[in-house]
Amino acid sequence: MGGNIPKSYGGFGANNYYGQSFIYRTATGGVYVFDLPYPFLSKDSSSNFRHEKSEPHRYPQLGSAVALIDHYRSDEYENAVVPIVLAHKFTAISAGPGGAMIDSLVASALAP
């Protein structure tokens, strides 16, 4: 292979990602992955964006984001936060009445 592969000055995702990913391990061992917006006006290749985007001190909201995860974490699901738990609860189909309704729909759809 080879050829003229363009050099990526901004690193992986420089043209289509708008934030930096972080991995946070809580004191209880939970692992959370979250993104924060880049704290730069531009991802221009003339700047040192590629290296500076990975420096945690450049993200002043990092402490607040981690505190938010600690505050809203939930043991309902592995590594979940309350908004995700609520989303699951309010969109899930219950095994009882919901399951019976789906069985009925499938049976009528498969009936000749």
Answer whether residue 76 is part of any domain: yes
Question: Range with the lowest mean pLDDT among 31-35, 38-42, 59-63?
Answer: 38-42
H helices then E strands: how many in the chain? 4, 4
Q: Which domain holds residue 62?
A: 19-110
- Tell whether 10 is covered by a domain: no
Q: Tell me whether residue 49 is in a domain.
A: yes
Residue 12's pLDDT is 64
- The fraction of the chain above a pLDDT of 70, given in percent, is 84
**Would you say residue 104 has pLDDT above 90?**
no
Domain assignment present for 73 = yes
Please write the tens of the pLDDT for every residue from 1-38. Answer: 555 555 555 566 666 778 899 999 999 899 999 999 99
User: What's the domain count of the chain?
Assistant: 1
- pTM attached to this predicted model: 0.65
- The answer as to whether 11 is a domain residue is no
pLDDT number for residue 91:
81
Residue 64 lies in a domain: yes
What is the average pLDDT score of the chain? 83
Rounded distance, CA 50 to CA 43, Å?
8
97 in a structural domain: yes
Q: Find out whether 26 and 32 touch, Cβ atoms under 8 Å.
A: yes
Angle value at C-alpha 106, between 102 and 110, nearest 5 degrees = 175
